[in-house]
Amino acid sequence: MAKKKQQETPVTQTTDHHGVTYLTGMYQDYFLDYASYVILERAVPDIKDGLKPVQRRLLQSMYDMHDGRYHKVANLIGHTMQYHPHGDAAIGDALINLGQKDLLIDTQGNWGDIRTGDSAAAPRYIEARLTKFALEIAINPQTTQWQMSYDGRRNEPITLPVKFPLVLAQGVEGIAVGLATKILPHNFFELIQASIKVLEGKKIKLYPDFQTGGMMDVSEYQSGIRGGRVRVRVRIEKLDKNTLVIREIPFGVTTGSLMESIVKASEKGQIKVKKLNDNTAAQVEIVIELQPGVSPDQTMDALYAFTQCEVSISPNACVIDGMKPVFLGVEEMLRISTFNTQELLKQELQIRLHELQEKWHFSSLEKIFIEKRIYRDIEESETWEAVIKAIQKGLAKYIATPSTKTKGEKRLLLHRDITVEDIQRLTEIRIKRISKYNSFQADEVIKQIESELKQVRHDLAHLTEYTIAYFQKLLDKYGLGRERKTELTTFDTIQAVKVIANNAKLYVDRKEGFIGWGLKKDEFVADCSEIDDIIAFRKDGKFMVSRIAEKVFVGKNIIHVGVWKKGDERTTYHMIYQDGDSGKAFAKRFNVTAITRDKEYDLTKGGKDSRVMYFAAHPNGESETVEVQLAQTSKARNKVFDFYFEELAIKGRNAGGNTITRYPIRKVAQVEVGKSTLGAQKYWYDDANGRISKDERGKFLGSFDTGDQLLTVYANGDYEIIDFDPTGKIDLKDLLYAGKFKPKAPVSMVYFEGEKQWTMVKRFLIETTTIGQRFRAITEHADSKLYFVTLEEDPVVEFGYMSNRQKVTELFNPAEFIEVKGWKAIGNKLVDKKLISIQAQQSEEEGETEPEEADEVPPTSEKKKAVQADLFSAPASKSKPLTKDVKKTAAKSSAKPAKTPATKSSSKSTSKASVKPAPKASKKATKKAVKGNKGKGGKYLRTGDTIEW
C-alpha cells in the first residue's frame, strides 16, 4: 500500500522561539538574496555610468595605477582583485571585452579579433592603459560617490561620474537570475548629436551601429525594448558571374562561424558552392566560388536565407536605476544620461567656483598682509593668541567680511569671514616671498581669478548651452574615425522556397503511385529542392499536393506530376475527361492556386468510373489545339475533329467543364501549342535592392512575355541585354535605365565626350546580339559619362548648363535633333559645356507606367511623323535663319542637314512657353493649330512660333 503524501505546511517564519533556522526558510531567503546580488552586482549595468561592477572596478583600478605608460594586463588584473571578489578570470574577460570595443582602453599587443573570433594573448604578454577619452569623461574623484570595498580595506566608487552615454556607445550583454539584458552598441557621432538635440528640446531616434559593419534593417527595432529586433546582413559583392566576395559581417558572427554555416548549407544542397576561401587580414574577405551555371543573384538570396549571412538580433534593454532593474528604450536612456551629464557638469562648475573663490580670498588676504606690512604688527606679540588678534586687527582696517560690512563700505569685501586657518596660512608665508613680493603680478593673478569666476558664474547661469558646448567639444576632439559603419536599409522578405537551390531529383512510379527523390530506378521528372511541394494528377481525375520526401504514395495511375508553387496563376492545366455517369466528355482549363497539403481533390463531376482522356500542363497559359477521335461504334457523323482550348475560360478546379461530345472518345492527341492566352506580365524592380517582382513596388520595367529580354544602361555608357528572369535582380550600381528590350526602338543618349569636352547627342538601334555582355555606346575616354538615356519614340528633354555664371535651361527633341545612326557613331554636339541638369519632359497624357506595346516597333523611316515633325516641316526658304552657333553645330555634326535644334539664342529669347509644341500633342489639336495658322496667311508654322490650344 502506497504511503499517503504528507501535506506540506508553508513556513512563514525562518526561526522559532529557540532561534532555530528552518531549511525551507533558508532557501526562500537565500535564493532571493542571490538573485538580487547577481542582478545588482554582476550582470546588469547601472544607468548612471553604463558599467557593470567589474567594469567599474577595473577602470578605477587602472586610474589608481595610471602614470601615462602601459601596464601589463596581469598587473591590472591583480590590482583590480582588491576591489572585485570574483577571481582573475572574470576580471580578465571583462578587460579584454572593454579593450576590444576601442573606446575606454588603449591597448598594446595581441588583443584578439572580434571578426575572426581569435582570442587575446595571455595577460602577461599584453598591455593597456586608460585612453584620454576615458580620463576626460569617466574619472573625477571630486564628483565620485564612494563606498567600502568588499573587505573594508579600500574605498570603491558606487558609480563613476561618466559624462557620456557609455551604455549605448559600448553596448552590453548580461544574464542574471531570472533576468537578462542586451543593449546593442550605437554610433559615437549619433549619440552626441542626439544628446545635443535632447538639450535643445528636439525629438530623437537612435539605431544601432556595429564595429563589424554590414547592413541592417531597423524597421522592427522598437527602441531596443523587449519584442523588437534588427536584421543584420553581410555585405556581398559580385566580383563576376561565378564569384561572390563577403567584405563585412554581421554583429556577433565570426568569419569562422559564417564559413561553417555556408559549408553546411552547401552540404545540404541549399546552395551550390564550388570553393570557399577566407582571405581575411586587415579587412574581412571571404571568397565564394559558385558552380558553373549557378545564378549569383539567387545564391546571394540563398545565403541570406540559409546561412549566417543574415542574422536576427533581439535586444532587451534593461539597466539598474535606483537599485532595481528597469526596462527602458534607448531614447529614454539617452535622455537620462544627458541630464545626468548636465548635473555632473553643474557639480564640477560649483566645485570650480568654490576653488576660485577660495583662491581669490587668500590672494586678497596675502596682498593686503604684505603690501600693508601687517606682518610687522606681530613683532611685539608674545603668544599665539596675541599674534592672531594683531593680524585680525590689522586686516580689519582694509578688509570687510559678510559679518563686519557696513553701509557704504569702502573696504575690500570678501566672500566669507576670515578664519583662524586663513591667519595661520598668512603666518606661514616665508620671509623670502615677502621680500620678493611683486604687487603688479599679484594684481594680474587676482584679475585672472576674477575673470575665471565670471566665466564660471556665466556657465552656471547658462548650463544648457555649456552642456551643448561640452558635447560638441567631445565630438570635435574624439569623433575622427567614428563615423557610422553599419548601413541602414530595408530588407525584402526572402522566401526560402524561391531561393533554395535544386538539391534533389524528383522521380515517379506512375503505375504504383509513388513519388520522391529515393525512386532512382524509376522515371525522372525534374530537379527540385527538399522543401518543394509536388502536385500529382491521376487517371481517375483526382489530384493531390504533398511535400517531397524520399518516397510518398499519392495514388496509382499517375498521369502528370510536377513542382507546385502556391499562388501560381500562370500555370494552366488542360483536361478532357469522360464522365462515368452520363458518358459525356468534358473539357476544362483551370489553375491550382491554393490547396490543403495531402488532401485528395476531384476534378470531375464525381461520377463513378470517370476517367481522364487527355491532360496537359502549360507554365504560361499557352493556347493548345488537340485532335479528338471518337469511338468507331459511335453514331457521330464526324468521328475526328479538332478542339481549341483557348476558347475556354480559365476557371477554378471545381468547375465541371464544357461538353465537347456525348459520344465515347477513343483517343485525344495534341496538334500544336500556341502563344500564351494570358498576355504579357507587368514587372517592377525595387530601386533599393534591385529585386524584380510583380508587387507594383518600385520602378516599372515593362510588360514581359515568354522569350522577352531586358535592357540595362549604365552611367559609364555601357548597355547590356540579358534574358529576363522574373525572380532575378538588377545591378543598381550606376544604373541609368532598365526596361524591356525592343530591337527596333531607337535608343536616344545624351552624354559628355571626354576628349572634346562637348555634350553630345546620339540615336541608334542596338545591333549587338550577344546576351549577358556589356558594350560601350559612348567614347572610351576616362572623362566620358552618360547623362541621359531613353527609348521613347518622340521624347522632349530639358537640359541646363552654366554660361557667364548664369544657369541656362533649354528644351530639345532628340528625334528632331539627330537621325538614327550606327551604335558606334559619336553623335552630334549639343553644347560645348558640361550639363548641370537634364530630365525628360512628361506630357500630361502620359501615365506613370508604359502602355501595352507591340512586340515590334516600325523602323524610324517608316513610322508616322511626330507632331513636331509636322509642325516644323516648312521649306528652308520660309523658316527663320539659323543662328551662328547652330550652323556650326550642324556643319560639324553631319554633312546632311539636321532638323532645326534648340539653340542658345532661342533659349534666351524665348521662354518655355515658346516651345509648347515640344511635348506630344494630339493630332486633333495639331490640325486645329495648323489650320488656324493658314487662315492668317501663313502656310506653315515657323521655328519659335507659339501654339495655343
Positions marked catalytic? 125
Query: Count of H helices and E strands in the chain?
Result: 21, 49
Q: Are 247 and 309 in contact (CB under 8 A)?
A: no
Among the listed residues 363, 51, 313, 335, the one whose alpha carbon sits nearest the alpha carbon of residue 184: 313
Q: How far is Cα 501 from Cα 270, in angstroms, rounded to an integer?
A: 5
Q: How far is Cα 543 from Cα 555, in angstroms, rounded to an integer?
A: 9
Phi and psi torsions of 347, nearest 5° = -60, -45
**What CA dihedral angle connects 426, 429, 434 and 436, to 10 degrees?**
-140
Cell numbers for 641, please give them. Answer: 475533329
Residue type, 741: F
Instruction: Compute how many other C-beta atoms are within 10 angstroms of the C-beta atom of residue 333.
Output: 24
Rounded to an integer, what is the distance from CA 806 to the centroid of its chain? 39
The burial of 178, by beta-carbon neighbours within 10 Å (0-12 exposed, 13-18 middle, 19 or more buried), is given as exposed
Beta pairing class for 709-714 and 692-693: unpaired
Among the listed residues 52, 28, 22, 31, the one whose alpha carbon sits nearest the alpha carbon of residue 40: 52
Q: How far is Cα 668 from Cα 627, in angstroms, rounded to an integer?
A: 6
DSSP E strands, 229-349:
230-233, 235-240, 243-248, 273-278, 286-290, 310-313, 318-320, 325-327
Cell numbers for 74, please give them. Answer: 596581469
Residues in the chain, how many? 949
Rounded to an integer, what is the distance from CA 935 to the centroid of its chain? 63
Q: Are 508 and 562 in contact (CB under 8 A)?
A: no
Residue type, 351: I
Phi and psi torsions of 844, nearest 5° = -65, -25
- How do the residues of the chain divide into helix, strand and coil, expressed in percent and rounded to 5? 30, 25, 45
Q: Are 650 and 606 in contact (CB under 8 A)?
A: no
> Which residues are CB-contacts of 475 (< 8 A; sequence separation ≥ 6)?
189, 192, 193
Q: Is the torsion defined by CA of 261, 267, 270, 275 positive or negative?
A: positive
Rounded to 5°, the CA angle 214-220-223 comes to 95
> Which residues are CB-contacts of 257 (< 8 A; sequence separation ≥ 6)?
117, 308
- How would you label 716-726 residue by residue, b for 16+ Cβ within 10 Å and e otherwise? bbbbbbbebee
Q: How far is Cα 738 from Cα 347, in angstroms, rounded to an integer?
A: 62
Q: How far is CA 713 from CA 53, 710, 738, 763, 772, in A?
A: 59, 10, 7, 14, 13
Q: How far is Cα 534 from Cα 531, in angstroms, rounded to an integer?
A: 10
Q: How far is CA 189 from CA 12, 206, 481, 926, in A?
A: 55, 11, 10, 60
